[in-house]
Amino acid sequence: MAKPTPNPGPRGGEIGILVYPNSQAAAVHGLTDLFCVANSVHHAQGGTSVGEIVVSHWKLSEVSGRIVRTYTTCSGRSQKLAAIILPPSIGVPETSNPSRERLCRWLKARHAQGTALCSVCAGAFLLAETGLLNERTATTHWSHAQELERRFPKIKIEIEKLLIDHGGVFTAGGVMAWIDLGLRWIQKLMSPTVMLAAARFFVVDPPRTDQRLYTAFSPNLLHGDAQILQLQHWIHSKYSEELTVAALARLAAIGERTFLRRFYRATGLKPSEYFQQVRVTKAQEALEFSLHTVEEITSMVGYHDISAFRQVFKKVVGLTPAEYRVRFGLGGKHRG
């Protein structure tokens, strides 16, 4: 009989946070605090310094042109970097420049040594510049998805995901997804017990994987096709009516095949997908701010089959209408 594999226990390690231009200070310091709380829990449970997480901040020096450590929670110890986190930035990052190219070379060198690279929200743009996301799936904040895809067409964007783990490369979606990423690393370098205790301390859920709940439909209205724009306005005002490709093509006085091609080119969505997004958005508003029943809302947004509506709603949002109301409605248990 084979002997059971011994539990190696918390292995700890150093996590570096790259403080690049316009990176979000709240995320940098929030991650630092999160890992420090995890260390406190670890020691309270009888752990030693061997299993703790050392946090360091890194920055491109304007004097030497090198990336240097500017802060560490444990200056007397030297650790191999287990991970480097690229926090969110304020706004969409600028395109590549000599400073960002130096950061990318440094990141690729660390990755070649076994350090995992992790981005949060718009930090994905800097990670994408390294080329390490090419031919991989990745996520970012839902509002940045189109721009990331435009700049880096070799990356497959899965915007519904909140956290994607490729082992040596991680991407996290929303601005606050640094919490989910940080908790994942606490679990990896310490233990699930420490991770759950840290989550309870910050009064947050354990790591999530889906950001559909927090995605708002934001249709492109600046594409320059006046006929398609008029149809979009019509859809938004007549969303509860029976909408067909044939009817919309007739309204635009163009052939159906031409209409389909131009609509997709302008909006990035098929008409059926666009209808669904508009109707689900209206349903979300009703579930959040009205006392109408799910059956009433189903009819209000243009569906006749409540079962079909539930399936569409869950596909787009990630929850059933009833679950969504419990979480986000006026009388919901949780407004997260």
Predicted local confidence at residue 191, as pLDDT: 87
Claim to verify: residue 209 and residue 253 sit in the same structural domain: no
Residue 2 belongs to some domain of the structure: no
96 token code pair = 């590549």
Residue 110 belongs to some domain of the structure: yes
Which parts of 52-97 fold into alpha helices (H)? none
Residue 164 belongs to some domain of the structure: yes
Predicted local confidence at residue 97, as pLDDT: 83
* Domain enclosing residue 191, as ranges: 13-214
Predicted local confidence at residue 2, as pLDDT: 41
Predicted local confidence at residue 51, as pLDDT: 85
188 token code pair = 């990896």
Which helix (H) or strand (E) is 67 found in, with range? strand 67-72
Q: Under a CB-based contact definition with an 8 Å cutoff, are residues 213 and 318 in contact?
A: yes
CATH number of domain containing 92: 3.40.50.880
Residue that terminates a domain, selected from 169, 186, 214? 214
Residue that terminates a domain, selected from 160, 190, 214? 214
Report the number of distinct structural domains present in the chain.
Answer: 2
CATH number of domain containing 230: 1.10.10.60
Q: Could you give the dihedral angle defined by the CA atoms of residues 244, 246, 247 and 248, in that order, rounded to the nearest 10 degrees?
A: 90
**What are the φ and ψ backbone dihedral angles of 70, each rounded to 5 degrees?**
-105, -10
* DSSP structure string for 277-335: HHHHHHHHHHHHH----HHHHHHHTT-S-HHHHHHHHHHHHSS-HHHHHHHHSTT-S--
CA distance linking residue 24 with residue 214, whole number of Å: 20
Residue 119 belongs to some domain of the structure: yes
Q: Give the dihedral sign, CA 141/145/149/150.
A: negative
Claim to verify: residue 278 and residue 310 sit in the same structural domain: yes
Residue 63 belongs to some domain of the structure: yes
Q: Give the dihedral sign, CA 252/256/262/268.
A: positive
Predicted local confidence at residue 209, as pLDDT: 67
Does the pTM exceed 0.75?
no
- Owner of token pair 């390294």: 130
CA distance linking residue 206 with residue 112, whole number of Å: 30
Predicted local confidence at residue 216, as pLDDT: 67
Claim to verify: residue 190 and residue 51 sit in the same structural domain: yes
CA distance linking residue 323 with residue 201, whole number of Å: 26
Which parts of the chain fold into alpha helices (H)? 25-44, 98-112, 123-129, 145-151, 178-189, 192-201, 226-237, 245-252, 256-267, 271-289, 294-300, 306-317, 321-328
pLDDT tens digit at each of 336 positions of the chain: 344 334 445 678 899 999 999 999 999 999 999 999 999 999 998 888 778 999 999 999 988 889 999 999 875 555 678 999 999 998 777 777 889 999 999 999 999 888 999 999 999 999 999 999 999 999 999 889 999 999 999 999 988 888 898 888 999 998 899 999 999 999 888 988 899 899 999 988 877 767 777 666 778 776 888 899 889 888 988 889 988 999 999 998 999 999 999 999 999 999 999 999 999 988 988 898 888 999 999 999 999 999 999 999 999 988 999 999 988 876 554 433
Give all strands of the β-sheet with 81-86 in edge-to-edge order: 67-72, 53-60, 13-18, 81-86, 116-120, 169-172, 163-165
276 token code pair = 């669904």
Claim to verify: residue 205 and residue 264 sit in the same structural domain: no
Residue 335 belongs to some domain of the structure: no
Strands 53-60 and 67-72: antiparallel
Residue that terminates a domain, selected from 182, 214, 246? 214
